[in-house]
Amino acid sequence: MHAVINDIVSSTEKRVQSIETKNRLPADKNDNTNKKDIVTAINKKKTQGKVAVIAEVKPASPGKKLRDIGPEDAAIIATEMEKAGAVGISVLTEPEFFHGSTDNLMSVRNEISLPVLRKDFIIDEIQFDEIESDLILLIAGILGDQLESMVEMAMLKGFEPLVEVHNESELKKALDTKTRIIGINNRDLNNLEIDLATTLQLIPIVKKFDDNNGQNHIIISESGMHTIDDVKMVIKAGADAVLVGTSIIKSGEIYAKTKELVDALND
């Protein structure tokens, strides 16, 4: 892993220790009975001839701040994304490197009707008790041998796990879990370089697995999509949805940029 990723994981380990002293969710709040189904939403958007865009409320990347986003602003941004046709909203909750917060997530989830993904570095089961969301990100390259048990625990707690992979080895481990959703991150966590070819290379492996096993995973392409052509390429390669943050936030035109990507296939 790149040194930055290792630093984020170390920071997360310290953050996890502090969760013990906070008010954790009551047991009856962990079932996520009001969970919104992203799989149905993605499939519906596809039948409409639109791109299923999961738009991200993203204050920063490591070393690159995009804009200040507090809870009130997060809700406004998410509302614009929803109006523009996004199929779901991703909210960063990692505080130190991405300037996210669980307050932002709570604000967004209270304001919109779309499924909400918690985007963070989940490394411990206690994080499942921290805050409710419809989906939760689980990164295969970070969880390693814990991946399968963390997927099962996420589902037990009422979350829809989105398992993120970056290479064939991680993908095969993800396919051995019960996750319905595979996220292909075009950013290599070893060098932080982005290559959309990663999505193109890994999609056929998922399709072959599904054909052989009677399954139908949802594939989400993540990172590095800035233009209509970028989105068209991964969708035509077989991605069911895209997750886009930086280009939407940097545009300064949340509604217009989100709608441009949603309508990419109509261009």
Q: Which residues are catalytic?
A: 56, 58, 119, 164, 185, 222-223
The dihedral sign for the CA sequence 122, 128, 129, 133: positive
Q: What is the rounded distance in angstroms from the CA atom of residue 150 to the CA atom of residue 211? A: 26
Q: What is the rounded distance in angstroms from the CA atom of residue 250 to the CA atom of residue 142? A: 28
CA 57 to chain centre: 11
Q: CB-side exposure of 244: number of CA atoms within 13 Å?
A: 29
Say how many residues make up the chain: 267
Instruction: Write the CB contacts of 158 (distance below 8 Å, at least 6 apart in sequence).
Output: 30, 31, 32, 33, 35
* Residue for token pair 């986003």: 69
Instruction: Write the CB contacts of 256 (distance below 8 Å, at least 6 apart in sequence).
Output: 84
Instruction: Write the CB contacts of 206 (distance below 8 Å, at least 6 apart in sequence).
Output: 171, 175, 182, 217, 219
Q: CB-side exposure of 97: number of CA atoms within 13 Å?
A: 17
Measured from the Cβ of residue 62, the count of other Cβ atoms closer than 10 Å reads 14
Whether the Cβ atoms of residue 97 and residue 11 lie closer than 8 Å to each other: yes
